[in-house]
Amino acid sequence: MGFEIGLVMLGVSSISRGCPDPLALQDPAVARRFNLSAFAGHYYELQLHDVTQVNNVCGCQTSNKTIIERDGTLFVDDDFLMLCPKPQIEPNGKIYPSALSFNVTRQPGVLHGHWPVLPSQLFPDTVVAVGWPDLDGNPYRWVLEFQCVEKLGTIAFVGVNFYSRWTVSDPRGVTANQEMAAAAAKWGVYNFTGGAAGFTVVNHSGCPAME
For the cut 70, the answer to whether the pLDDT of residue 7 exceeds it is: no
For the cut 60, the answer to whether the pLDDT of residue 86 exceeds it is: yes
Q: What is the tens place of the pLDDT at every residue in 16-74?
A: 589 999 999 999 999 999 999 999 999 999 999 987 665 678 999 999 999 999 999 99
Say if residues 159 and 1 touch (Cβ distance below 8 Å). yes
**pLDDT for residue 200:** 93
Q: What is the tens place of the pLDDT at every residue in 150-196?
A: 998 899 999 999 999 999 999 999 999 999 999 999 999 999 999 99
For the cut 50, the answer to whether the pLDDT of residue 6 exceeds it is: no
Nearest to 145 by CA among 125, 124, 173: 125
For the cut 70, the answer to whether the pLDDT of residue 112 exceeds it is: yes
Phi, psi values for residue 37, rounded to 5°: -65, -40
Count of alpha carbons within 13 Å of 96, Cβ hemisphere only?
16
**pLDDT for residue 55:** 60
**pLDDT for residue 114:** 94
Q: What is the tens place of the pLDDT at every residue in 132-154?
A: 999 988 999 999 999 999 998 89
Residue 161 CB contacts under 8 Å (≥ 6 apart), including other chains: 1, 45, 48, 50, 63, 143, 144, 145
